[in-house]
Amino acid sequence: MTSTSFNPIAAQTQALSTNQPLAMKQGQLFHGTVKQLYPDQMAEIQVGQQKFVAKLEAPLKAGDTHFFQVTGTSPQTELKVVTGPMVQTASSSQQINQLLESMNLPKTPEMQQLLAHFMKAELPISKEQLMQAEMWLKALPEGITKMDALQAIQKMVELKMPMTNEIFQALISGQKTTGMNSVMENFTQVLAKDTSLPESLRQNLMQRVQAIAKPFEVETGSLVLAKSIQLLTSEAASMSEKIQALNILKEAGIVPQQATLQNWSNLNAAKSGQPIPPQQAGQVIQTILTTSPEDKNQLINELKSWTANQSLLTNEQKQQINQLIDRLNQIPATKQTLEIFAKQMQEQFIKAFAQNASDRLFTQDSNALSVKDHLLSLLKNDATTPLQSEAWMRNLMKSSVESPQSFIQQMVTQADAQVQNSMDNKAMEHALKTVLKNLGISYEAALNNKSADLQVIAHQLKPQLHTLLQDAQITPQLKEAAEMLMARMNGMQLVSGENGHQHQLIMQVPLEFFGRKMDATLQWNGRMKEDGKIDANYARILFYLQMESMKETVIDMQVQNRVVTVTVFNEHNDVVPLAEPLKAALKIGLAEKNYQLSGVFIKQFEKAKPEKITAVVEQQEEHNGVDFRV
């Protein structure tokens, strides 16, 4: 089976770090070789592949290897020799024992492991850092290997991070590719049972974790809304079905409680409430109602332009709407005729968007608006923001799922089935964006964006966790669960980052599709162009997936000059026939983005674990499996 840490790209990053200038700090220890001696006890010291000039406290012989300690850094680096010259035949354990005695360090297995690791990595580390790291190695959490811990400690030393327990835990969590779902589930269960929190905070947190656990709930709600509207506008639907559909919209707060079967669609039409964002269908109706008769010609031009550019309407629907606009052009414009026209347009829009909900479930128009956004703007003047739109859909789903009416339950089941049948690349992209947005992993960076919507940011999970952890009344159980979740999210940011022109990005996403949970981790490594933007021509992307049926799966995608090679690691032999029919679609999809598919390779874990991958081309003969070349 595969390792749970990011060794493939981490190894590359480590190699890159050796090209960075060494920044010595007072008190650090390192293993180096005297390359050349200069007057006044100055010497050229080599650490790994790097060299620097320092002043020695005692004269040494060129070619000897020692452990050194930094005693000063200004105006020049000054070094103290900690151990005598190491003979080339001395083993690393002998060298380490000599250092332990010289520095009066504890001769524990953990300390020996630390020194061996940093000696091999050729990195300077202070005595204080060694003592702290030894404590961590002695008390590792369950499921954390010493190698995971050593890599986390090395990252802290390399990036000059504070040696705090919070950062150590975050780095360990950030390196793991599994368990995000279980951490989320544990937090949700503890939160649901907690009675100490203010109800408003608890509800806000529960809404976010539910949004993460159900990334398609809003889309299912959109279909329930569309089906309810279709029933209310259908001549074939029975009176009982229409009443149930209207009641469910009332319970969700989408239409007013006083709405009837006769007036449910126009109670809000003439209200001048909170302004609706530009380009929503509801704003079109408001524009008609507020236009003076003298401006009829300008209104007609604006309506035809809006209709022509609305990608969520079919050509047939656009033709019907334009016929309605042409009729307005043929009659005298008065306040009364404009109100009648507005009502007719509203009814036409409601029918059209409700009819298109299924076919355009994961589609947005040029203004990033969906069918549900237009429908809600036609029914509610206050459906103005993505947060409000999402809230109405979740309210509708809650009311529908809890409804005792079998007809409503059947409508929910049908909507859920339609969402499942609509699963494609757009749906997966939507799910990932929904989960990442609700997690709020990078909300600190978003705060620096002047155009960021602070209300949206405040509703994300991570800032709410910050608020929760500052609550003095929080129970120990909830605090522990929240800290574990926070460590996971912080860890993603800590293990991501830039290294010269190289950039590494880690994302752990807990996904749940129709009752099936999956841990998905994306690890991207690429280079940056001179303008600071990502170079899309070269990249290495690994997807670590824990799926209910296929179990552990790793996808290694390498991009060289826009030529893509994909290797899939999985233990099941029957993956090969499953992959065969998908090749053509993958090739076409990549070609649409101006990429060329070189080949798809199906491998097993037994002989070549992904953590040892260097280049796929070099290892083809080392694996068992079947290669698909295109």
pLDDT tens digit string along 551-600? 888 999 999 999 999 999 988 878 888 888 888 888 998 999 999 999 99
8-state DSSP, 605 = S
Q: Read out DSSP for 2-63?
A: --SS-HHHHHHHHHHHTTSPP---TTEEEEEEEEEEETTTEEEEEETTEEEEEEESS---TT
Contact 304, 325 (CB under 8 A): yes
**Residue 546 forms beta bridges with which residues?**
519, 552
Tokens of 599: 């080949």
What residues contact 209, with CB distance under 8 A and at least 6 apart?
A: 184, 187, 188, 191, 461
- In angstroms, the CA 630 to CA 626 distance is 13
Position 86 scores a pLDDT of 62
Tokens of 197: 């929190």
Question: Phi, psi at residue 106, to the nearest 5°?
Answer: -65, 135
Q: Give the dihedral sign, CA 162/164/170/175.
A: positive
What residues contact 348, with CB distance under 8 A and at least 6 apart?
A: 317, 320, 321, 324
Closest by alpha carbon to 254, among 381, 406, 425?
381
- Hey, what amino acid is at 52? F
Helix (H) or strand (E) holding 484: helix 476-495
- In angstroms, the CA 149 to CA 170 distance is 11
Is residue 214 exposed (0-12), middle (13-18) or buried (19+ Cβ within 10 Å)?
middle
Q: Give the dihedral sign, CA 518/417/437/210.
A: negative
**Residue 45 forms beta bridges with which residues?**
34, 52
Contact 213, 186 (CB under 8 A): no
Q: Which residue has the tokens 């909300």?
A: 443
Helix (H, G, I), strand (E, B) or coil at 606: coil
Question: Phi, psi at residue 88, to the nearest 5°?
Answer: -65, -25
Helix (H) or strand (E) holding 227: helix 217-233
Closest by alpha carbon to 464, among 491, 438, 425, 500?
438
Helix (H) or strand (E) holding 601: strand 596-603
Position 180 scores a pLDDT of 84
Q: What is the pTM of this model?
A: 0.70
What residues contact 262, with CB distance under 8 A and at least 6 apart?
A: none
What residues contact 454, with CB distance under 8 A and at least 6 apart?
A: 447
Residue count of the chain: 630
Tokens of 298: 């300008």
What residues contact 305, with CB distance under 8 A and at least 6 apart?
A: none
Position 36 scores a pLDDT of 79
- In angstroms, the CA 590 to CA 488 distance is 32
Q: Read out DSSP for 72-132?
A: E-SSS-EEEE-SPPBPTT--HHHHHHHHHHHHT----HHHHHHHHHHHHHT--EEHHHHHH
Which value, to the nearest 10 degrees, does the dihedral of the CA atoms of residues 334, 338, 339, 344 take? Answer: 140
**Would strands 563-569 and 596-603 be described as parallel, antiparallel, or unpaired?**
parallel
Residues of the chain predicted below pLDDT 50: 1-19, 267, 269-276, 383, 608-630
Is residue 236 exposed (0-12), middle (13-18) or buried (19+ Cβ within 10 Å)?
exposed
Q: Read out DSSP for 318-383?
A: HHHHHHHHHHHHTS---HHHHHHHHHHHHHHHHHHHHHHTTTTTT---TTS--HHHHHHHHH-TT-
**Residue 566 forms beta bridges with which residues?**
557, 600
Phi-psi region for residue 625, left (φ > 0), alpha (ψ -120 to 50) or beta? left
Instruction: Answer whether the bond into residue 75 is a cis peptide, omega within 30°.
Output: yes
